[in-house]
Amino acid sequence: MNIQTPVDPTDDLVASARRVLPGGSFGNMPAEVILKEGRGGRIWDEAGREYVDFLLGSGPMFVGHAHPEVTAAVQAQVPLGTTFFGNNRHGIALAQAIVEAVPCAEQVRFVCSGTEADLYAMRAARAFRRRDKILKFEGGYHGMSDYALMSLAPKKPGNFPRPSPDSAGIPKSVQDEMLVAAFNDIAMVEGLIREQKDELAGVIVEPFQRLIPPQPGFLQALRRVTAEHGIPLIFDEVVTGFRFAYGGAQEYYGVTPDLCTLGKIVGGGFALAAIAGRADIMAHFDRLAMADEDFLFQVGTLSGNPVAAVAGLATLDILKRPGAYEQVFATGRTLMAALSDLLKRSGFKAQVIGEPPLFDILFTDQPVKDYRDTLKGDAAILKRFNQLLRARGIMKGESKYYVSLAHTRADIDHTVGAWTDALEELKAGR
């Protein structure tokens, strides 16, 4: 009698993906991960497997998948038109909501992705200062532009402040326009800014860099030294905007930049991002306010489209309700505490880093204050741990647990059980 191995229903899809997509994927997740449905804090793949979702579409689904109010807003708009290129009342209302919520926001310009937002924020700083160089921080992620892909994740970090390109296809000349410093090292940053102040157009930083919180006083000192020299400070809040607080990381940490970028949550799961900031800098986007040589040209076919705008407005309405952030933080704290306890009892050299809405493990017991410290972590163990978790119904990326308003007590209990089992198997296989 021949025993046949059951055929995975996604095999044909994976095979098709490998034929038509480089690497068989959209570039985000492995080819084998083909997702079909999401509701609340859970998702299902094409084979019907259910997962507690800490990927959240890489962060946008902060109120959960297919939230009824967001869905209803989108369904009401779609029959009326999906994009117009001209202004629409919903995009204007969303810009007003951002100005009311975000401390630095006096005006807003919409784009469709975080990459665009960061690119235009750097360009706005250059236009305003009439200088070329931008200072960023090693390990900081600011999208996929040539400028952003400088020292995002260098395998062999070089000497500061010279950056290293993270991708093929980037002109060598771009290296001359970017400077790189160590996150949380204010002495280094102050020295670089004072040395380069006559050439610097701006400083861009994730106020919470990937998973690394700012050390006490770092952001305040960065704000002080940039203001001292009239250099625009840009907070990349594509991830942290409306996640750490309704006013973003700048509200959470109490530091107001000159410009910020927003994405993910602000579009309610649709393609929308924004640059927001001081009116005198944002004026460079206004052709009527600027001489030709100072005008910053920017148009986008889908920028501020009404479908994304109504989804964003519905999402922000949910987040404004009393208790929303308290619930997310309570869920995150419970998860972080449980994971820390399990790691301690397992005997692994590991730590949980981050903030309650966004955290992960690093398999090292050494202090972590910047990108180079993260390289001390055992990446192979983390990769294996993530694989074991996926087999136990936990969906996450290679790094980051994104916590949502939709995660329930049942989701927490399932996750803690999966962590317990996976750590036991991981320990047994050491």
pLDDT in tens, 145-196: 999 999 999 988 888 999 999 999 999 999 999 999 999 999 999 999 999 9
Largest CA distance in the chain: 82
Task: Please identify which of the residues 45, 53, 185, 236 carries the catalytic annotation.
Answer: 236
Average pLDDT taken over every residue of the chain? 95
Region 223-238: mean pLDDT is: 98
Answer for the pair 266, 241: CB distance below 8 angstroms, yes or no.
Answer: yes
Q: Residue 244 pLDDT more than 80?
A: yes
- For the chain, how far is it from start to end, CA to CA, in angstroms? 38
Q: How far apart are CA 272 and CA 317, in angstroms?
A: 17
At 290 the pLDDT is 96
Q: How far apart are CA 331 and CA 405, in angstroms?
A: 8
Answer for the pair 48, 85: CB distance below 8 angstroms, yes or no.
Answer: no
**Backbone torsions φ then ψ of 385, nearest 5 degrees:** -60, -45
Q: How far apart are CA 102 and CA 88, in angstroms?
A: 21
At 87 the pLDDT is 97
**Backbone torsions φ then ψ of 105, nearest 5 degrees:** -85, 110
Of 90, 130, 135, 124, give the one whose Cα is nearest residue 279.
124
pLDDT band at 102 (very low <50, low <70, confident <90, very high): very high
At 167 the pLDDT is 94
Of 326, 327, 387, 335, give the one whose Cα is nearest residue 358.
335
Give the whole-number percent of the chain exceeding pLDDT 90: 93
Q: How far apart are CA 286 and CA 278, in angstroms?
A: 13
Of 246, 231, 271, give the one whose Cα is nearest residue 116.
271
Q: Residue 85 pLDDT more than 70?
A: yes
At 250 the pLDDT is 98
Task: Give strand pairing partners of 79.
Answer: none
Answer for the pair 112, 271: CB distance below 8 angstroms, yes or no.
Answer: yes
Contacts of 116 (CB under 8 A, 6+ apart): 143, 273, 300
At 6 the pLDDT is 54
Region 40-54: mean pLDDT is: 97
Give the whole-number percent of the chain exceeding pLDDT 70: 98
Task: Please identify which of the residues 141, 252, 401, 402 carries the catalytic annotation.
Answer: 141
Collapsing DSSP to helix, strand or coil, 411 comes out as helix
Answer for the pair 238, 112: CB distance below 8 angstroms, yes or no.
Answer: no
Region 238-267: mean pLDDT is: 98
The two tokens of residue 38 are 């999401």
Region 310-322: mean pLDDT is: 98
C-alpha distances (whole Å) from 165 to each of 153, 162, 180, 189 are 9, 10, 11, 20
Region 412-425: mean pLDDT is: 97
**Residue found by looking up tokens 């996750």 in the block:** 415
pLDDT band at 226 (very low <50, low <70, confident <90, very high): very high
Region 32-50: mean pLDDT is: 95
Q: How far apart are CA 343 and CA 338, in angstroms?
A: 9
Q: How far apart are CA 73 and CA 70, in angstroms?
A: 5
Least confident piece of the model among 51-60, 344-353, 421-430: 421-430
pTM of the predicted model, to two decimals?
0.95
Cα within 13 Å of Cα(241), Cβ side:
35
Task: Please identify which of the residues 133, 264, 396, 400 carries the catalytic annotation.
Answer: 264
Q: Residue 3 pLDDT more than 60?
A: no
Region 70-83: mean pLDDT is: 98
pLDDT band at 416 (very low <50, low <70, confident <90, very high): very high
Q: Residue 10 pLDDT more than 90?
A: no
pLDDT in tens, 258-283: 999 999 999 999 999 999 999 999 99
Q: How far apart are CA 313 and CA 42, in angstroms?
A: 23
349 is catalytic: no
Q: How far apart are CA 142 and CA 30, in angstroms?
A: 22
Answer for the pair 397, 29: CB distance below 8 angstroms, yes or no.
Answer: yes
Compute CA 337 distance to the chain's CA centroid, rounded to the nearest angstrom: 23
At 155 the pLDDT is 83
pLDDT band at 1 (very low <50, low <70, confident <90, very high): very low
Q: Which domains does the chain have, with CATH numbers?
A: 1-32 (no CATH), 68-319 (3.40.640.10), 323-428 (3.90.1150.10)
156 is catalytic: no
